[in-house]
Amino acid sequence: MNKTLKLIVRIALLVVLVPLIALAVVGSFKTEGKDFSIREKVIIEHSDSVMYVTVINDPADSVILRTPSEDLSVKAIKSETFRTLAAKMYSTVTAPHQDGVGIAAPQVGVNKRVIWVMRYDKPGKPLELYVNPKITASSSSMIPGVEGCLSVPCYKGSVPRSGKIEISYISLETFRPVTEIVDGYTARIFQHECDHLDGILFKDRADTVYIDEAWAAERKEFEAQGYFKKPDFLD
């Protein structure tokens, strides 16, 4: 093969290979994380703005609560389905008959890494949305504190948690990972909600668990008015 021919072959290879490698890299980035399943899309679209909250004493719900959740792909985060899920989860955690300080997607039947956390460390205690959150570091000193859970209604427990954590998640502005250091009660909420994404409930970590009588009485009243009923399409 003469020199000119060799050069042409090399250039041709470059022209073909470079875009192929670039496509493979971009492709692998895009396939990180999953889209919502068809069943999850049905749940998100068919639910009322205040969604049904899964409870541990319902056998089908407990499977969802115990299943580790998957990361969402950037494509899924940019979807209308995601916006609907985020809005409905917000309406659910702030509904008077729920009134939580945080909620995780498995609690509304969706095994994807999405949580709302009440930021006690910010003025006005805003609820903030986090996608693909992970606790990347935590202080070794454990501090006990009282917790409850919308999926374990009427029960509370004393749970030891790290006082300070580092959390990473996907920015909803840049769609890139960011990390943040959080402490105090907000760090406790992050740990509780991230546990949900790994199929763990507060009672698994609690030193003591007891019935909160005031909550039980309040829930009974809401129940009598038809709240907490499981929608037919979830059966």
Residues that bind Zn ion (CB under 5 A): 149
In the complex, least distance from residue 100 CB atom to Zn ion, rounded to whole angstroms: 7
Which residue's CB comes closest to Zn ion?
A: 149
Residue the block writes with tokens 């996608």:
131
Closer to Zn ion by Cβ: residue 72 or 149: 149
In the complex, least distance from residue 20 CB atom to Zn ion, rounded to whole angstroms: 46
The strand pairing partners of 156, in sequence order, are 148, 210
Give me the active site residues, please.
193
In the complex, least distance from residue 193 CB atom to Zn ion, rounded to whole angstroms: 7
In the complex, least distance from residue 47 CB atom to Zn ion, rounded to whole angstroms: 18
Closer to Zn ion by Cβ: residue 203 or 230: 203
Cα separations in angstroms, 48 against 85, 129, 180: 11, 20, 33
Closer to Zn ion by Cβ: residue 103 or 234: 103
In the complex, least distance from residue 196 CB atom to Zn ion, rounded to whole angstroms: 6
Closer to Zn ion by Cβ: residue 107 or 132: 107
> How crowded is the C-beta side of 170, counted as CA atoms within 13 Å?
17
